Amino acid sequence: MELKVYKDNVSAAQLICETKLELPLETEFLIPDYLPQVFKVVKCMVIPVVLQKQISPGRLNVEGYLRCIVFYQAEGSGDLCQTEQKVPFSKQADCRQGEYDYACAPVEIGGEVEYVNCRALSGRRMEVRGAFALSVRACAYRRSDVITALDGEYVYPKSETLQTAQMAGMAEKILTAEGDIAFEGEPEVILHTQCSSTMEEVKLLSGKAVVKGTVQAQVIYRAKGSEELLKTTADIPFHEILDMEHADEQCRAVAMLNACGCTITGTEDDKTQLAVTAALTVRAWKDIELCVVQDAFSSQQEMELETAQTPLEQVYEPLDEHVSASVSGQLADAESEVLMALATPLSVELLENQEQCVLRGRVMAHVFCRNSAGEIDCYDKVCEYTVERELTCRAAEICLLCQTDAVSVRAEKNGAELTAQLELNVTGFLSMVRATTTLAQVQLTEEPIHKENAPALYLYFAQENEAIYEIAKRYHVCPEALCEINHCAQGVLEEPKRLLVPRGM
């Protein structure tokens, strides 16, 4: 008897690396002549910028730089000033080896400062010593063969249609969004730029991805001849087309924009232009229905079956959550004046809570205040927030690629009580991978099922909720014929029933 086996393959993300890499931070600052000398170091912030991520069998390479930003109080005027320096890094991490497809591998990189010490060596020299913990979580795609159909006489497969997703591709591009920005007065010093983004349209065509959105930029500055810190904003639209070979109109996609830096320049017509450099990432996938064979038997010959746990991936709705958070604390000096407030989003973590998984994020608020003695201090406070998603799975089954942008930060004081209100936007890709039992190998043997002296008729007392297929498999009879003889429907019995089971049916 000939048996034809039809197969297909599916791919799903598997975690291949989850680790933390320590980046030593040792650098010296030389303050340029156009900035005043240092009276007091107020705050040192460290922000990672990843330029390149490469995955190869057994190895992950990460390259980029640490933005080391130092806020200091100027000598003489007592104004708040800022200077920064880029500290390049290149790190490698070991990955699980195997037959993986790394083309669309999602790699999430974040981190936070372990410790940092900054001191002034002279009026124009500063030294920074510290360490930054770079957190890395990488997945890769592994293909598995599944049996989708069996074709053979007296062979009865048990099939099920499953929902899964297949990655169609990933594209990355460094873009520059340019637009005009207006200041109330001519800026003397730019203290901070903060960027967030809004995706208005992510459209997939044959082999292309079209992304439209807006970059929201906020600039904190001090105008010439003024001690007050001012804030101005600008909305800069962008429109990008990326190549995605396997994407089409049937796919879905999510886009994320990570700002790397800003440049503010003057133009010939006395306008000021803001240029934002950012990394745009687009991931595309297709939701499909896959018919897989989970069991099989023959009514004439013995069969050898080999099952396997096949991972299947399901993609959740893309993350695009607006989150509010607040933090409060006591000021050391109740007469302090709030100057400005900043925020540093930290990595979003997957925490298991009984049978559910929770997306928990943290953000650090930095509030700069001038005390009654005229000195500037920075108050740091970490607060937590939760992204509202119901995830009934374990953290190891989640593939996460997300980004948190600080949309706005406001600080106010009431006596000695200091409160910071933060508005955040969490965007990203989220999927779940779970294993399903499927047939991996099927083979007919020469040994017949029924012996010569076997009974010609069986009487079986079936119980409620018993499956007709399992009864038919036990006695090696055709499930359809069993239902026809006993006048019952296929599937699961709704009540106890006595079944007649003829041999060799």
- CATH number, domain containing residue 482: 3.10.350
Are the CB atoms for 272 and 217 separated by under 8 Å? no
Distance CA 322, CA 404 (A): 10
Position 47 in a domain? yes
Q: Residue 90's pLDDT is what?
A: 95
Residues contacting 439, CB < 8 A, separation 6+: 146, 147, 292, 293, 294, 295, 296, 305, 306, 307, 308
Residues 284 and 161 occupy one common structural domain: yes
User: Any idea what DSSP says for residue 226?
Assistant: -
Are the CB atoms for 213 and 242 separated by under 8 Å? no
Position 35 in a domain? yes
Distance CA 211, CA 199 (A): 8
Distance CA 354, CA 352 (A): 6
Residues 178 and 227 occupy one common structural domain: yes
Q: Residue 152's pLDDT is what?
A: 84
Domain with 408, as residue range(s), is 317-430
Q: Residue 93's pLDDT is what?
A: 92
| Mean pLDDT (whole number) for 273-298 | 91
Position 362 in a domain? yes
pLDDT band at 505, cuts 50/70/90? low
Residues 36 and 141 occupy one common structural domain: yes
| Mean pLDDT (whole number) for 177-195 | 89
Residues 17 and 124 occupy one common structural domain: yes
Left (φ > 0), alpha (ψ -120 to 50) or beta: where does 76 sit? left
Cα 250 to chain centroid, rounded? 22
Q: What angle do CA 184, 187, 191 make, to 5 degrees?
A: 110
What predicted TM-score, i.e. pTM, was given to this entire model? 0.84
Residues 133 and 213 occupy one common structural domain: no
Residues 290 and 179 occupy one common structural domain: yes
Q: Residue 57's pLDDT is what?
A: 86
Residues 130 and 175 occupy one common structural domain: no
| Mean pLDDT (whole number) for 171-195 | 90
Q: Residue 58's pLDDT is what?
A: 87
Distance CA 315, CA 297 (A): 34
Domain boundary among 240, 263, 298: 298
Q: Residue 223's pLDDT is what?
A: 87
Distance CA 307, CA 109 (A): 37
Phi first, then psi: give them for residue 463, nearest 5 degrees: -100, 165
Q: Are strands 356-370 and 337-345 parallel, antiparallel or unpaired?
A: antiparallel
Position 190 in a domain? yes
- The residue whose two tokens read 């607006």 is 322
Left (φ > 0), alpha (ψ -120 to 50) or beta: where does 225 sit? left
Distance CA 112, CA 117 (A): 15
Q: Residue 379's pLDDT is what?
A: 93
Residues 164 and 290 occupy one common structural domain: yes
Distance CA 107, CA 104 (A): 9
CA distances from 178 to 34, 123, 262, 272 (A): 26, 36, 10, 11
Structural tokens at position 55: 């995955």
| Mean pLDDT (whole number) for 317-323 | 90
Residues 142 and 161 occupy one common structural domain: no
pLDDT band at 1, cuts 50/70/90? low
Residues 359 and 250 occupy one common structural domain: no
Phi first, then psi: give them for residue 474, nearest 5 degrees: -65, -40
| Max CA distance (Å), the chain | 109
Give the whole-number percent of the chain exceeding pLDDT 70.
98
Position 200 in a domain? yes
Q: Residue 326's pLDDT is what?
A: 92
Q: Give me the number of domains the chain comprises.
A: 4
Position 332 in a domain? yes
Q: Residue 19's pLDDT is what?
A: 92
Residues contacting 150, CB < 8 A, separation 6+: 3, 4, 5, 6, 157, 293, 296, 442
Domain boundary among 430, 462, 492: 430
Domain boundary among 93, 120, 146: 146
Residues 167 and 255 occupy one common structural domain: yes
Position 443 in a domain? no
Q: What is the pLDDT of residues 392-403, one digit of tens each?
A: 888 888 888 888
Residues contacting 16, CB < 8 A, separation 6+: 55, 95, 96, 98, 100, 105, 138, 139, 140
Position 185 in a domain? yes
Q: Compute the mean pLDDT over every residue in the chain, rounded to the nearest whole number.
A: 89
Structural tokens at position 477: 């009879």
pLDDT at residue 355 greater than cutoff 80:
no
Residues 136 and 53 occupy one common structural domain: yes
Distance CA 477, CA 469 (A): 9
